[in-house]
């Protein structure tokens, strides 16, 4: 999608601190980190939010979560939180699906 920030990062048109990339997924440090580790895992395919997922996306979302799991292992994280915000009321501000990998500090539950 031409005016989408994360499509532009995935295409290399906007710089980001990329920490992982394969054919389907790109991961980069969040520009405004909310924890010592705050990585965004983003499918290269544009999907606006989890609201638009269907069965055709099963593999892609599996790959996204697996990439997060592998990254966490590589960083030797002893615990972490994966978050996907859907729609503004839940805190979504970029409308291209992404998974936050947050770690490095205690996490509260329930979240705010």
Structure tokens that stand for 9 in this block: 């990062």
Q: Which does 94 bind (CB under 5 to 8 A by kind): ligand AMP, Zn ion, none?
A: ligand AMP
Alpha helices in 16-103 (DSSP H): 58-74
Q: Is 38 a residue of the active site?
A: no
Positions that interact with ligand AMP (CB under 6 A): 5, 16, 28, 30-32, 40, 85, 91-94
Q: Which residues contact 21 (CB under 8 A, 6 or more apart)?
A: 27
Q: Return the beta strands (E) in 32-112 as ranges.
A: 37-43, 81-83, 99-103
Q: Which does 24 bind (CB under 5 to 8 A by kind): ligand AMP, Zn ion, none?
A: none
Q: Which does 64 bind (CB under 5 to 8 A by kind): Zn ion, ligand AMP, none?
A: none
Alpha helices in the chain (DSSP H): 5-10, 58-74
The distance of closest approach from Cβ of residue 104 to Zn ion in the complex, given in angstroms and rounded to an integer, is 27
d(CA 74, CA 111): 26
Q: 83-112: which residues touch Zn ion (CB under 5 A)?
A: 96
Q: Which of 46, 96, 98, 100 is catalytic?
A: 98
d(CA 97, CA 84): 8
Residues binding Zn ion: what is the number (CB under 5 A)? Answer: 6
Interface ranges with Zn ion (CB under 5 A): 1, 4, 6-7, 46, 96
Catalytic residues, which ones?
A: 98
């Amino acid at each position: 999608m031409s005016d989408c920030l994360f499509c532009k990062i995935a295409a290399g048109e906007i710089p980001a601190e990329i920490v992982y990339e394969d054919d389907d997924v790109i991961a980069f440090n969040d520009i405004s980190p909310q924890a010592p580790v705050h990585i965004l895992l983003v499918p290269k395919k544009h999907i606006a939010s989890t609201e638009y997922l269907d069965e055709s996306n099963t593999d892609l979302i599996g790959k996204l979560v697996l990439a997060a799991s592998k990254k966490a292992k590589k960083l030797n994280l002893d615990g972490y939180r994966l978050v996907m915000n859907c729609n503004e009321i839940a805190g979504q501000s970029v409308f291209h699906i992404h998974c936050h990998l947050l770690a490095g500090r205690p996490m509260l539950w329930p979240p705010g």
